Amino acid sequence: MSSTRTLPTTLPTTLPTTQSDRFTASILAVTKFVSVALLALTLLAAPVSAQEEADDSQEPLLSDETPTLLAEKLEDGGVYIGPGRSDLDAATLQEAVSSARQEGLEIVILVPDQPEPNASAFARRIQEKTETDAAIVYPPDGAELQAYASEEFVSNRTRALNRAQEEADPSAAIGVYVEELQSDGSRNVPVFVLILVVVVLVLLYTAYGASSLLERERKKLISQ
């Protein structure tokens, strides 16, 4: 008596569980790596932000050099020199401000007697109070200049400050700061946006690759 074989009426349309799990694990691994990297970047940036916030909370109460008072004095010329400072030339600084304005950059320059709580935080307060593009501060006792630029220049402001601090001549330092602040088209895309774009591209590329491999394996099984 002959026996007959019954052929399956349907063909497999999915990969074996082990193969599918392998691709899923790969996608999860990439996603986990990206998440850890973003968390690390956030933790590294947190101490700096915390320090800036701590500095900004210490507004001097008994001083003629508060941001509110100085903002009024800076409205016209954009230059302030404390009564106890004579180490920098007002005309030179005024010329630097005018030159920057001609290039489309609104800056203010301060030579205070006692920037509180420190020159860096003082520059930030002044910039935010005056709503200018940048504030440059020359601390007393020959300390290196400090500056703070608005969020529009977040990609360039650290490099601009570092380059300016390398210059001994005040006029040259301000010129370098203005130039570096506006380099590469100025007002660049914030770093976190670039990181986000890279992360999205990596995830899309990984998902596309996994999908393509799964599709190829499915077609192989169907053709068998």
Q: What is the pLDDT of residues 71-103, one digit of tens each?
A: 988 988 899 999 999 999 999 999 999 999 998
Q: State pLDDT tens for residues 5-53.
A: 554 554 444 444 455 555 566 666 666 666 666 666 666 555 444 444 4
Q: Please give the Cα distance from 108 to 35 (Å, whole number).
A: 40
List Cβ neighbours of 160 (8 Å cut-off, separation of 6 or more).
Answer: 147, 149, 153, 176, 177, 178, 180, 181, 183
At 199 the pLDDT is 79
| Together in a domain, 107 and 156 | yes
Q: Is residue 147 part of a domain?
A: yes
Q: Please give the Cα distance from 216 to 98 (Å, whole number).
A: 65
Full residue range of the structural domain in which residue 158 is found: 64-181
| Together in a domain, 202 and 111 | no
Q: Is residue 130 part of a domain?
A: yes
| Together in a domain, 214 and 155 | no
**Top-confidence range, 38-42, 74-78, 143-147, 208-212:** 143-147
Average pLDDT value over all residues in the chain: 78
Judged against a pLDDT cut of 70, whether residue 134 lies above it is answered with yes
| Together in a domain, 68 and 171 | yes
| Together in a domain, 123 and 78 | yes
Look at 75 and 204; give whichever has higher pLDDT: 75
Look at 38 and 123; give whichever has higher pLDDT: 123
- Helix then strand count (H, E) for the chain reads 7, 4
Q: Please give the Cα distance from 210 to 132 (Å, whole number).
A: 50
Question: How would you classify the pairing of strands 134-137 and 146-149?
Answer: antiparallel
Q: Please give the Cα distance from 106 to 31 (Å, whole number).
A: 43
Mean per-residue pLDDT, 54-75: 68
Judged against a pLDDT cut of 70, whether residue 1 lies above it is answered with no
Domains: count for the chain? 2
Amino acid in the structure at residue 2: S
Q: How far, CA to CA in Å, does 109 sit from each of 13, 113, 167, 206?
A: 71, 13, 16, 50
Look at 1 and 178; give whichever has higher pLDDT: 178
What predicted TM-score, i.e. pTM, was given to this entire model?
0.57
7-16, 113-122, 125-134: least confidently modelled range: 7-16
| Together in a domain, 121 and 196 | no
- pLDDT confidence bin for 65, thresholds 50/70/90: confident
At 63 the pLDDT is 58
| Together in a domain, 195 and 176 | no
